[in-house]
Homo-oligomer: A and B are copies of this chain.
Amino acid sequence: MARVVVEVMPKPEILDPQGKAISGGLSRLGFTGFGEVRQGKRFELEVDGDITDDVLAQAREAAEKLLSNPVIENVVSVHALEDA
């Protein structure tokens, strides 16, 4: 079954306390070399049929309307899942 992936991240100017907590956790576990961490969302939408430009446009609209909060989040990617 074909799938579309939608990726949503908090806007850079928005505080991300969960990301901060993860960043602290990484240091405590001995993972050095990483700085700031941001946590966002990844959606997989099953598509009935083939992934056409129209399907991708619909997914992009759904991403803006339902899958993200445009006040605090950016849709960073809408793409077909290659290995579906």
Binding site for B on A (CB under 8 A): 1, 4, 7-9, 19, 22, 25-26, 29, 31, 33-49, 55, 58-59, 61-62, 65-67
Contacts and interface: CB of A to CB of B under 8 A. Distances in A.
Assembly stoichiometry (copies):
2
Given A33-B48, A41-B41, 6 more contacts: A26-B66, A31-B61, A34-B58, A38-B43, A40-B43, A40-B44
B46 A37 contact: yes
B55 A25 contact: no
A67 to B, nearest CB: 7
A9 B34 CA distance: 22
B48 A34 contact: yes
